[in-house]
Amino acid sequence: MIQGTLNKMKVEQGEKIQYSLYLNDQLINMNERIGSSFTMELTGAIFCLKCNSRTKTSFNQGFCYKCFLSAPECSQCIIKPELCEAHLGKGRDPQWEQDHHNQPHYVYLAASDAVKVGVTRDTQVPTRWIDQGASSAIIFAETPNRYEAGKIEVALKSFFTDKTNWRNMLKNQVDDSIDLISEKWNLETQLPREITDFITDDEEVHTFNYPVLSYPGQVNSISLEKVIRFTKVLVGIKGQYLIFEDGSVINLRKYGGYQVIIG
């Protein structure tokens, strides 16, 4: 039995995606758990992933209320890049913004049951796509900062969704007819010059093979607020979700900061 505070799983690209879960300083190789019984139990404690203080409620996947209001990781431009002010030297923490948001960013197209548009820092490729459970992805544009990437994303929302249908993703409902290269270049004639100037020549389509023995026909989400302990057979991992034999799933990222015991 290992006790620690939940955070998002670390991912590594390979023939199959490799997942690791760190509980404090203890490492769990999650791929090795697939096909075996998996137990998770809440201790009742929640700790802020930013300041490590104990909190009654977790906000924004792992923050106490004070950090939720003040931490740059919780600022509006995380969800809405077009609101970013890092390039202006502004933000909740201007130095953090310079280091993380006033840096090269990609606008990408990812495929699953539909084409999704998104934004990520160049250093987060392919991690961002794997965390979202994408089947494949292509870089659409490269920008010097998060703000410019956000403006392009807003324009592309007229053509594509910016949300992942997590239920379809976990059932592996993939539209195999999607051609990301064609989708990318079809946009070139439909967008203004101030956007097309950022389009890259990169046509590499990144594909991902998740460690899943079987996908559920129906998906039932486990709520740790209602189920404080469970034991189930782990049959796969996709995105930041654990998939169990009975069709139930749990999004570990959602419960960042929760202290658990895993066996």
Query: pLDDT tens-digit profile of 32-44?
Result: 999 999 999 999 9
The yes-or-no verdict on residue 24 having pLDDT over 90 is no
The yes-or-no verdict on residue 125 having pLDDT over 90 is yes
Split at pLDDT 50, 70, 90, the class of 135 is: very high
For the ranges 126-130, 158-162, 196-200, the lowest mean pLDDT is seen at: 158-162
Distance CA 192, CA 156 (A): 11
pLDDT of residue 225: 86
pLDDT of residue 35: 97
pLDDT of residue 109: 98
The pLDDT of 235-251, averaged and rounded, is: 97
In the chain, the DSSP E strands lie at 2-5, 10-12, 18-23, 26-29, 37-46, 105-111, 115-121, 136-143, 206-207, 220-221, 229-238, 241-244, 248-251, 258-262
Q: Is 153 helix (H, G, I), strand (E, B) or coil?
A: helix
Instruction: Return the residue matching tokens 């051609």.
Output: 179
Token pair in block for residue 49: 């992933």
The yes-or-no verdict on residue 239 having pLDDT over 90 is yes
- Residue of 211, 54, 239 lying closest to 131 (CA atoms): 239
Which residues are within 8 A (CB) of 98 and not within 5 positions of it... i.e. 6 or more apart?
Answer: 86, 89
The yes-or-no verdict on residue 73 having pLDDT over 90 is yes
pLDDT of residue 25: 85
What does pLDDT average to over the chain? 96
Distance CA 253, CA 128 (A): 13
The yes-or-no verdict on residue 133 having pLDDT over 90 is yes
Which position has the higher pLDDT, 163 or 120? 120
